[in-house]
Amino acid sequence: MEDLSRDIALGLFSRIAVGDEKAYSIIFHEYNARLFHTVLKMVKSNTEAEEIIQETFLRLWLRRHTLPEIENPMGWLYTIASNLALDALRKQAKERERLKIMLSSRNSDLPEPDIALYGKEVNELLQRAIKQLPPSRRKVFELSRNEGLSRRDIAETLHISESTVKNQLTSALHFIQDYIQKEGAITLPVTLLLLLLNFFYFR
């Protein structure tokens, strides 16, 4: 599709303002990919970028009554997507700082290299746990964690339903958490476990 002219985009925004779903679909298909690539460069995560784009177009629809006031449709969409990406980056930074404080509080005298070793220990346990997952469940988990695919993308790749993907991921995370706590005598909620791995190995 050729780029929309500003006048055409303004016309489509006016139609969306009165609930025209066809106009909304045209705008979505015109700007979806370009917005995604812009956001991806910022957040470095396919899953995060996809969620931000979904939120951007959700806001477009929910705020449709304000669209006739917009003078630069493409710029407006880019501003929303960029602001959401910046919010996500700020949230990630806060989570990493909170995690660092939580890990440090386990022992106020624990030096930074030892904290890194603690993260390495958890990662080694994780890799052993992943190897013990059933093949189909391991594949779903690796597509999610290693390649950053969304549930929908995993479902399409493996030709299974999104609900099956969700169930497989949930089961995998529960198994991994139990394995790490049992084998490493470490008590961590799944969320903190994944934050720990992101902090040390996926920055």
The answer to whether 10 touches 69, Cβ cutoff 8 Å, is no
Average pLDDT over residues 68-94: 88
Look up the pTM and report it.
Answer: 0.48
Main-chain phi, psi angles of 170, to 5 degrees:
-60, -45
pLDDT (tens digit per residue) in 134-157 = 999 989 888 887 777 788 889 998
Q: At what angle do helices 112-131 and 73-105 cross, to 10 degrees?
A: 110
Q: How crowded is residue 121: how many other Cβ atoms within 10 Å of its Cβ?
A: 13
189, pLDDT greater than 70: no
Residue 110 binned pLDDT confidence (cut-offs 50, 70, 90): very low
Residue 171 CB partners (closer than 8 Å, separation 6+): 137
Q: How far is 144 from 148, CA to CA, in rounded Å?
A: 5
Spell out the domains of the chain, with CATH numbers in brackets: 6-92 (1.10.1740.10), 106-201 (1.10.10.10)
Token reading at 83: 């602001």
| pLDDT recorded at residue 201 | 37
pLDDT (tens digit per residue) in 11-60 = 999 999 998 888 998 999 899 889 999 999 888 888 888 889 988 998 89
When mean pLDDT is compared across 54-58, 75-79, 89-93, the lowest value belongs to 89-93
When mean pLDDT is compared across 44-48, 55-59, 161-165, 191-195, the lowest value belongs to 191-195
Buried b / exposed e over 64-100, threshold 16 CB at 10 Å, is: beebeebeebbebbbebbbebbeebeeebeeeeeebe
| pLDDT recorded at residue 27 | 92
Percent of the chain with pLDDT over 90: 22
Q: How far is 181 from 189, CA to CA, in rounded Å?
A: 10
